[in-house]
A and B are shown apart, each in its own frame.
Chain A
Amino acid sequence: MHTNFKVNEVPQVEVRDIWKRFGSDDVLKGVSLKAYNHDVISIIGSSGSGKSTLLRCINYLEIPDAGSIFIDGEPIKMKRNRDGRLVPAERAQVCRLRTKVSMVFQNFNLWSHMTVLQNLIEAPMRVLKRPRHEAVEYAELLLQKVGIAEKRDEYPARLSGGQQQRVAIARALAMMPQVLLLDEITSALDPELVGEVLNVIRSLAAEGRTMIIVTHEMKFAREVSNLVIFLNEGVICEAGPPQKVFESQETERLRAFLSST
């Protein structure tokens, strides 16, 4: 079913049969996916289908109840704690692997007590131990790229939603990640600000960045991705290249979902 299968290449992200339950609610029921270098994968589905949970499991903001995650071929080591729940065995490993997959959030989540520039250099300096001048230099380059170089000394509260989200994208890129995870990054924006953020993502896709995108923007998903995954009630219901998913659906569920958006 997956059309991005490649022989002899280690996927940058591999999700293998993960399950996640919140209370009595099974949110993910055995989901697997692989993201290879240069893949742009869009995950679509109605709210509550488990899209965001899947994305959050990839960098361990949510810990799956079962199944495994590989980042760049390296599995995240797990152990059972006293209550019998799976938890990461080494926090340091999780921190290290998170530097390879950067996440951009729906609500930007910029650090409000830091200026734009400080937001961009914090993690590279503290986590990657890069010298300040290098981090600043790269941060300024990224700010130019997302088109807000002139706002480098502003606090996030002074920026519009679209500007904040572009800063958040730059902050994620500052870690030089192998994969970008984008979690409904335009959902909290005013309609007229959506375009500026999507344009940034378009240019990243054109550069060949590996991205996994959870989105409600169907036109956008169709345009940038090479693989579209339709998640329904915690399972992958249909997956394939955008033409196939958007034009010749195999399942009634996907047809119904697409006609409702």
Chain B
Amino acid sequence: MILNLIYESMPQLLKSSILTIHLTCISLIIGACLALPLALGRLSKNRWVAGFSFAYVYYFRGTPLLVQIFLIYYGLPQIGLTLDAYTSALLSLSLNTAAYTAEIIRGGIQAVAAGEIESAHAMGLNRAQVLRRIILPQMIGFALPAYGNEIILQIKATSLASTITLMDLTGMARTLAAETYAPLEIFCAAGIIYLVMVFSTSKLVTWMERRSTVYRC
């Protein structure tokens, strides 16, 4: 093993990990935006709304992300809808994390004490106010530990984007490995970068968790 090679490959790998971080962040943001309505849909008394949300979550949690990526990248052109690799990856990552996040949010909402929701209604707050002022702020505290896990899974899931030609951290590592004939060193280097990203994320989430639940002392 040539330690030097790890060092020398770093600049290129770090540059490509910008795409990894970018895919993670954007897909998490889009996913969270989709997840809240999905979670509320799961809890809805309307059968159609609840049914749609259930089917969505069931599909995206029940099939491999790689299949979802291939379906969008290779499958959609067959019906005349061609998306480039970046859009395909971002879309499938977003739709996928939305399903998992929806379940996390649903769990967080259900953990809010029923009595506190009831007293909010009794004080005359309407449903939107109860949701925004009472349920959602507490939901965040309940959901953060599980959501931190989801962020970490998502960082690692972006590596699948390399299968459809994207030069993310994994994609770059594959290219460099092919060029240098030294996959051991290159993939070790890539692994180190993933570890640093995951470690700092989990530290950040722990800090946010503490901040969002100060009231529970």
Which residues of the partner chain A approach B127 to less than 8 Å between Cβ atoms? 91
- Identify which of residues 83-108 in chain A touch chain B, using a CB-to-CB cut-off of 8 Å: 91-92, 95-96, 98-99, 102-103, 105, 107-108
Which among B116, B120, B127, B134 has the highest number of chain A CB atoms within 10 Å?
Answer: B116
A112 CB–B CB distance under 8 Å: yes
B113 lies within 8 A of chain A by Cβ? yes
Chain B: residues with Cβ within 8 Å of the partner, total of: 23
Q: Are A95 and B124 in contact (CB under 8 A)?
A: yes
Query: Are A96 and B124 closer than 8 Å at their CB atoms?
Result: yes
> Once the chains are docked, how many angstroms separate the CA of A172 from the CA of B138?
22
What sequence of 0s and 1s flags, for each residue 138-155 of chain B, a beta carbon within 8 Å of any chain A beta carbon? 100100000000000000
Contacts of A158 in B (CB 8 A): 217
- Of the four ranges (under 10, 10 to 19, 20 to 34, 35 or more), the interface on chain A belongs to 20 to 34
Task: Contact check, A127 vs B123: say whether CB atoms are below 8 A apart.
Answer: yes
8 Å CB contact of A61 from B116, B122, B134, B217: B122
The reply on A126 being an interface residue by CB < 8 A is yes
A112→B123 CA distance, assembly (Å): 15
B11 interface contact, C-beta 8 A: no
| Inter-chain contact B115/A157, CB cutoff 8 Å | no
The distance in angstroms between the C-alpha atoms of A99 and B124, with both chains bound, is: 5
Question: Smallest distance from the beta carbon of A40 to chain B beta carbons, Å?
Answer: 20
**Selected contact of B123 from candidates A107, A114, A123, A156, CB within 8 Å:** A123
Tell me the number of A-to-B contacts counted with CB atoms below 8 Å: 77
Contact of A110 among B116, B121, B124, B125 (CB under 8 A): B116
| The one of A109, A168, A171, A175 that contacts B113, using a Cβ cutoff of 8 Å | A109
- State whether the Cβ of B84 lies closer than 8 Å to any Cβ in chain A: no
Contact A107 B115, beta carbon cutoff 8 Å: yes
B123 touches A155 (CB 8 A): no
Whether A109 and B124, one on each chain, are in contact in the complex, defined by CB atoms closer than 8 angstroms, is no
The answer to whether the Cβ of B216 comes within 8 Å of any Cβ in the partner chain is yes
Q: Is A59 an interface residue, CB under 8 A from the partner?
A: yes
Flag whether A122 is at the interface (Cβ < 8 A).
Answer: yes
A61 neighbours in B (Cβ, 8 Å): 118, 121-122
Contact yes or no, A91 B125, CB < 8 A: no
Please determine whether A109 and B216 come into contact, CB atoms closer than 8 angstroms.
no
Name A191-247 residues within 8 Å CB distance of B: none
Given A98-B121, A98-B124, A123-B123: A109 and B116 interface contact (C-beta under 8 Å): yes
Decide if A113 touches B141 in the complex (CB within 8 Å).
yes
B210 at the interface (CB under 8 A from A): no
Instruction: For B121, give the chain A residue with the smallest CB separation.
Output: A61
B119 touches A (CB below 8 Å): yes
Tell me, in angstroms, the Cα distance from A98 to B124 when the chains sit together: 5
A-side contacts of B4, CB under 8 Å: none
Which residues from chain A contact B217 at a C-beta distance below 8 Å? 155, 157-158
Residues of chain A with a CB closer than 8 A to B214's CB: 155
B133, CB-defined interface residue at 8 Å: yes
Which A residues are in CB contact (< 8 Å) with B48?
A: none
Identify the closest chain B residue to A96 (Cβ).
B124
Given A111-B134, A112-B216, A122-B133, A103–B124 Cβ distance below 8 Å? Answer: no
Q: How many Å from the CB of B89 to the closest CB on chain A? A: 37
Q: How far is the CA of A123 from the CA of B134 in the complex (A)?
A: 11
Whether B126 sits at the interface, judged by CB under 8 Å, is yes
Contact of A126 among B113, B116, B125, B215 (CB under 8 A): B125
Q: Is B129 part of the binding interface, using a Cβ–Cβ cutoff of 8 Å?
A: yes
For the complex, give the distance between the alpha carbons of A112 and B141 in Å: 12
> Could you tell me the distance between the alpha carbons of A92 and B214 in the complex, rounded to whole angstroms?
34
Centre residue among B126, B137, B141 by max chain A CB count within 10 A: B126
Among B123, B134, B215, max chain A CB count under 10 A is at B123
Please report B residues at the A interface, Cβ cutoff 8 Å: 113, 115-116, 118-127, 129, 133-134, 137-138, 141, 214-217
List the 8 closest A-B pairs by CB distance, nearest first.
Answer: A109-B119, A109-B115, A123-B123, A155-B215, A99-B124, A98-B124, A127-B124, A103-B122
A-B contacts besides A109-B113, A113-B134, 6 pairs, CB < 8 Å: A98-B121, A108-B115, A111-B134, A113-B138, A123-B124, A156-B215
Q: What are 27 A-B contacts with C-beta separation under 8 Å?
A: A61-B121, A61-B122, A92-B126, A95-B126, A98-B121, A98-B122, A98-B124, A99-B123, A103-B119, A105-B115, A105-B118, A107-B115, A109-B116, A111-B120, A112-B215, A113-B137, A113-B138, A113-B141, A113-B215, A114-B215, A122-B123, A122-B125, A123-B120, A123-B123, A123-B124, A127-B123, A157-B217
